[in-house]
């Protein structure tokens, strides 16, 4: 038992150091993209969320200069522009327009 306690303490210390090291790793591009897309999909459910996530995750990474000066991602900027252009459209007309606009 006296030999087991120091071993358990050493293992616990090694484990905690390992976890701290894992948290220091920078996120991969895919992890960052997933985080951004999840934020964009907040409040959406079902098919609407699936469609937004599919579009967002399949979008090619734009150059950093393509992002708006206000800190928005390229996808957020595109969504804002398409929403403005869709003013006055309703129902299926709006859905079709937004779909086409966001694919560009």
Q: For 35-67, how does the pLDDT look when each residue is reduced to its tens digit (9 = 90+)?
A: 888 888 888 889 988 888 888 888 765 544 444
pLDDT at 72 over 50: yes
Q: pLDDT (tens digit, 9 = 90+) per residue, 18-39?
A: 654 555 678 888 888 888 888 8
Question: How far is Cα 95 from Cα 42, in angstroms, rounded to an integer?
Answer: 19
What are the residue boundaries of the structural domains of the chain, listed by start? 29-103
- Which pLDDT does position 61 carry in this prediction? 57
Q: Is 6's pLDDT higher than 80?
A: no
The 10 Å Cβ neighbour count of residue 104 is: 7
The pTM (predicted TM-score) of the whole model is: 0.37
Distance CA 88, CA 83 (A): 10
CA nearest neighbour of 62 among 78, 48, 50: 78
Coil, strand or helix: which one is 62?
Answer: coil
């Amino acid at each position: 038992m006296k030999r087991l306690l120091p071993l358990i303490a050493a293992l616990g210390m090694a484990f905690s150091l390992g976890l701290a090291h894992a948290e220091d790793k920078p996120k991969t591009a895919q992890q960052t993209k997933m985080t951004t897309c999840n934020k964009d999909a907040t409040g959406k459910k079902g098919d609407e969320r699936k469609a937004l996530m599919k579009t967002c995750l399949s979008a090619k990474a734009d150059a950093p200069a393509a992002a708006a000066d206000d800190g928005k991602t390229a996808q957020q900027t595109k969504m804002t522009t398409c929403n403005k252009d869709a003013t006055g459209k309703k129902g299926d007309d709006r859905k079709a327009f937004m779909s086409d606009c966001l694919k560009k």
